[in-house]
């Protein structure tokens, strides 16, 4: 007998998180490590587990996450987005709570590309009159 699981993909900036939810006791594993060991931040478990708290499913699912690219906070946001999308697969009733918490919307902000003739995306070389 195979265990039912739900998958979701979350993205933020350059980060991509692949999330798999299986029924369990609420353990979140990121790239083979616990959330505390992977992120080294005291608030990371709360930020990553926000979709579970919003839908009152805190101790019902284990999350196995593979995340790549970007920085730590981008990865946290990508994981949170992926968990929210996987929870939506688990039950469509969660849509209202997740939408109200703003967890289903992908954050479109990303780094702007560098333009020709400029130093960065918008910084121009200093103007000299003479």
pLDDT, tens digit, for every residue of 58-67? 889 999 999 9
Q: Where are the domains of the chain?
A: 6-100
Give the C-alpha separation, 43 to 116, whole Å.
40
| 70-117: pLDDT as tens digits | 999 999 999 999 999 999 999 999 999 999 999 999 999 999 999 999
- The angle subtended at Cα 3 by Cα 21 and Cα 105, nearest 5°, is 25
> Is residue 1 scored above 50 in pLDDT?
no
CA distance 80 to 11: 9
CATH code assigned to 6-100 = 3.30.230.10
């Amino acid at each position: 007998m195979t265990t039912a699981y739900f998958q979701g993909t979350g993205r933020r900036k350059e980060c991509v998180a692949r999330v798999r939810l299986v029924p369990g006791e609420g353990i979140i594993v990121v790239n083979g490590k616990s959330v505390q060991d992977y992120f080294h931040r005291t608030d990371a478990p709360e930020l990553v587990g926000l979709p579970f708290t919003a839908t009152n499913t805190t101790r019902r699912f284990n999350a196995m996450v593979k995340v790549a690219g970007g920085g730590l906070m981008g990865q946290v946001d990508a994981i949170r987005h992926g968990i929210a999308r996987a929870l939506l697969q688990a039950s469509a009733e969660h849509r209202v709570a997740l939408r109200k918490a703003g967890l289903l919307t992908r954050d479109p902000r990303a780094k702007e590309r560098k333009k020709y003739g400029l130093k960065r995306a918008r910084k121009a070389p200093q103007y000299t009159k003479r």
